[in-house]
Amino acid sequence: MKRVLILLTALTLAAAACSSDDGGSDTSAAGLGGGEGSVDIADLAFSPDILTVAVGTTVTWENSDGLPHTSTSDDEVWDSGTLESGGEFSFTFEEAGTFGYFCEIHPSMNGSVVVEG
């Protein structure tokens, strides 16, 4: 009986380690000290709409949609200009905070980057 409990515990832990959390749109990228993160633009939306990264991370927005879009900071920290289909824009986040952004062409599209220090 003890072996069965140990085996069941091991299988449960293994399954938990392999599963992913699809319950929300908040996606973390990069470990401490920066790295890279990405946001896909498709179907008139930013995906993920909330991206959490570390200070020093470079985030790249890629337009996979058939329409032009922008990634424009709410606080004028960055502006990609118009990104045609297949276009990319990158910005490196050097300080902690929450940075909202939107598409100037389609203002109902918005997202945010949460930068943790």
The Cα–Cα gap between 6 and 24 comes to: 32
Predicted local confidence at residue 101, as pLDDT: 98
Per-residue pLDDT, 33: 55
The residue range of the domain holding 90 is 22-116
Per residue in 48-96, pLDDT (tens digit) is: 999 999 999 999 999 999 999 999 999 999 999 999 999 999 999 999 9
The total number of structural domains in the chain stands at 1
The CATH number of residue 76's host domain is 2.60.40.420
Other Cβ atoms less than 10 A from the Cβ of 43: the count is 11
